[in-house]
Amino acid sequence: MEAPCSSPTAGKFVVVGGGIAGVTCAEQLAINFPSEDILLITASPVIKAVTNFKQVSEVLEEFDVEEQPSTMLENRFPNIKVMESGVKQLKSKEHCVLEDGHQHIYKKLCLCAGAKPKLICEGNPYVLGIRDTDSAQEFQKQLTKAKRIMIIGNGGIALELVYEIEGCEVIWVIKDKAIGNTFFDAGAAEFLTSKLIDEKPEAKIAQKRTRYTTEGRKKEAQARANAGNVGSALGPDWHEGLDLKGTKEFSHKIHIETMCEVKKIYLQEEFRISEKKSLTFPRDHHDQSVTTDKEIWPVYVELTNEKIYGCDFIVSATGVTPNTEPFLCGNNFDVGEDGGLKVDDHMHTSLPDIYAAGDICTAAWHPSPVWQQMRLWTQARQMGWYAAKCMAAASVGESIDMDFSFELFAHVTKFFNYKVVLLGKYNAQGLGSNHELLLRCTKGQEYIKAVLQNGRMMGAVLIGETDLEETFENLILNQMNLSAYGEDLLDPNIDIEDYFD
């Protein structure tokens, strides 16, 4: 029988999870309390370290994520002790966590156990999710033997995969009309799709600038044809170390099935018995001809548009579910609709002395009008850092203000080899119909969208080397009335940096 946990005053700072959130939190606690021991318990054999951190502007940041042996963290911070083990249970009333029969008493605890892929179908060996190094390697291994795969989902992972995979037919199934719904509107999607589908070099066309009200945007849209205890989520450029090549000698071969979902998955024998017919890979994007596929595949997918395709395997890139399971039993946490542990503006959960940061948590505070939570490593780092600050302040009876990084949503990444910067309400999220869009697009070069409400900039999408991120960030933060500038705001002949400096 396990001994009961003793008094919490005897406890230390304990952090669970060796991903970006947990490691950043532990590091910050170690800096704040150099004479105290910080315990980091993590299920994975390596930890994630942030390296080459670069503050691009006031809120935009870029960094690399490196997998390191935990000893490197312990060497950098002698007061951090890393324990490789999965936490099995939390006894919040007794201030203690249990792993493999051992128990650890905490005075303050930060849960940073991340999230796991939310698969369209659990337990099917032909449905893969990608989260950590192991799952990415398994995917790569399967891909080397594959002639055709199906990718389900329209977010970050799907966008990266369709661009990187070569030598394998890819059927990409999305619920939406356009690609990349979690990051882009139909205009940006069209800008990117040309890079994916046009095999020929793109002819440069003149730059176009347009101003849209919501009404105009609708018309524009109509006129245009987006496992248990897991390891940490992969880092930036995770696919660079992997040769994502199938069995064939061509580069991209992608067919996109829009506005549909998976209806049923059949294993080979099940499909044979059903006597249903599957389709061949469409010759080009406009190919509507229906030809029965003679090839025998390991798995078949029936879509809600009634089409059926056979493939070697399916990648479910359909989002994540917070890893809360080991912590919920016997503890009355407030949990968000997305399954995350709700945290307040001090990263504190609903239970005493328990904080949470990164993918595991759901931001339940009243956010700034231009910030929203997205499960990204920038937010994991910021939350881990801020949680440590809050834990430190609370333990000495002080209070601190919310960190500035939560004032404005800012994300910089790369899709289809373009730099992509997203700021504020970049897709007019939650703004209703009372907003307008300013667009500038040069095919193959840049796509710029500013979201305005009552003359104030609320968000922006910047694709390509636009050099506008800092100016736009300032315009969103200072909420200056831009009505007088109208479309000049995006006029390439006007240097708007000079305008607003």
Ligand X SMILES: Cc1cc2nc3c(=O)[nH]c(=O)nc-3n(C[C@H](O)[C@H](O)[C@H](O)COP(=O)(O)OP(=O)(O)OC[C@H]3O[C@@H](n4cnc5c(N)ncnc54)[C@H](O)[C@@H]3O)c2cc1C
Ligand Y SMILES: NC(=O)C1=CN([C@@H]2O[C@H](COP(=O)(O)OP(=O)(O)OC[C@H]3O[C@@H](n4cnc5c(N)ncnc54)[C@H](OP(=O)(O)O)[C@@H]3O)[C@@H](O)[C@H]2O)C=CC1
Binding residues vs ligand X (CB under 6 A):
16-22, 41-44, 48, 86-87, 112-115, 130-131, 156-157, 229-234, 236, 238, 323, 326, 358-359, 375-378, 380, 413
Residue ranges that bind ligand Y, judged by CB under 6 A? 120, 152-158, 160, 175, 181-182, 261, 317-320, 374-376, 413
Nearer to ligand X, 327 or 447 (CB): 327
In whole angstroms, give the CA distance from residue 501 to residue 480: 12
Residues in the chain: 501
To the nearest whole angstrom, how small is the minimum distance from the Cβ of residue 259 to ligand X? 25
Nearer to ligand X, 188 or 438 (CB): 188
Question: Binding partner of residue 87 among ligand X, ligand Y, none, CB under 5 to 8 Å per kind?
Answer: ligand X
Quick check: helix, strand or coil at residue 14?
strand
Evaluate whether 316 touches 119 at the Cβ level (below 8 Å): yes
To the nearest whole angstrom, how small is the minimum distance from the Cβ of residue 414 to ligand X? 8
Q: Which residues pair with 442 in a beta bridge?
A: 446
Q: Which two tokens stand for residue 112?
A: 């940073």
Classify strands 313-316 and 102-111 as parallel, antiparallel or unpaired. Answer: unpaired
Nearer to ligand Y, 381 or 389 (CB): 381
Got the DSSP string for 332-345?
Answer: ---B-TTSPEEE-T
In whole angstroms, give the CA distance from residue 462 to residue 446: 8
Nearer to ligand X, 114 or 282 (CB): 114
Q: Which residues pair with 55 in a beta bridge?
A: 61
To the nearest whole angstrom, how small is the minimum distance from the Cβ of residue 121 to ligand X? 18
Nearer to ligand X, 170 or 230 (CB): 230
Handedness of CA 248, 250, 252, 256 (dihedral sign): negative
* DSSP H stretches of helix in 297-352: 325-328
In whole angstroms, give the CA distance from residue 317 to residue 117: 8
Classify strands 208-213 and 436-442 as parallel, antiparallel or unpaired. Answer: antiparallel
* DSSP H stretches of helix in 44-114: 70-76
To the nearest whole angstrom, how small is the minimum distance from the Cβ of residue 313 to ligand Y? 16
Of all residues in the shown chain, the one whose CB is closest to ligand Y is 155
Q: Which two tokens stand for residue 172?
A: 């990409």
Question: Binding partner of residue 175 among ligand X, ligand Y, none, CB under 5 to 8 Å per kind?
Answer: ligand Y
To the nearest whole angstrom, how small is the minimum distance from the Cβ of residue 232 to ligand Y? 12
Nearer to ligand Y, 428 or 496 (CB): 428
Question: Binding partner of residue 412 among ligand X, ligand Y, none, CB under 5 to 8 Å per kind?
Answer: none
To the nearest whole angstrom, how small is the minimum distance from the Cβ of residue 162 to ligand Y? 11
Question: Binding partner of residue 229 among ligand Y, ligand X, none, CB under 5 to 8 Å per kind?
Answer: ligand X
Quick check: helix, strand or coil at residue 102?
strand
Classify strands 436-442 and 169-173 as parallel, antiparallel or unpaired. Answer: unpaired
To the nearest whole angstrom, how small is the minimum distance from the Cβ of residue 87 to ligand X? 4
The end-to-end CA distance of the chain, in Å, is 68
Question: Binding partner of residue 367 among ligand X, ligand Y, none, CB under 5 to 8 Å per kind?
Answer: none
To the nearest whole angstrom, how small is the minimum distance from the Cβ of residue 238 to ligand X? 5
Nearer to ligand X, 111 or 437 (CB): 111
Question: Binding partner of residue 44 among ligand Y, ligand X, none, CB under 5 to 8 Å per kind?
Answer: ligand X
**Where do the DSSP E strands lie in 268-322?**
299-303, 308-311, 313-316, 320-322
Quick check: helix, strand or coil at residue 230?
coil
* DSSP H stretches of helix in 346-449: 377-395
Instruction: Please report, to the nearest 10 degrees, the dihedral formed by the alpha carbons of residues 242, 244, 250, 256 taken in order.
Output: -140
Nearer to ligand X, 184 or 297 (CB): 184
Question: Binding partner of residue 39 among ligand X, ligand Y, none, CB under 5 to 8 Å per kind?
Answer: none
Nearer to ligand X, 98 or 394 (CB): 98
To the nearest whole angstrom, how small is the minimum distance from the Cβ of residue 201 to ligand X? 27
Question: Binding partner of residue 459 among ligand X, ligand Y, none, CB under 5 to 8 Å per kind?
Answer: none
To the nearest whole angstrom, how small is the minimum distance from the Cβ of residue 230 to ligand X? 6
Type of residue numbered 490: L
Question: Binding partner of residue 18 among ligand Y, ligand X, none, CB under 5 to 8 Å per kind?
Answer: ligand X
In whole angstroms, give the CA distance from residue 280 to residue 311: 10
Determine whether 104 is exposed, middle or buried from the number of CB atoms within 10 Å of its CB (0-12, 13-18, 19+). buried
Nearer to ligand Y, 164 or 403 (CB): 164
Question: Binding partner of residue 158 among ligand Y, ligand X, none, CB under 5 to 8 Å per kind?
Answer: ligand Y
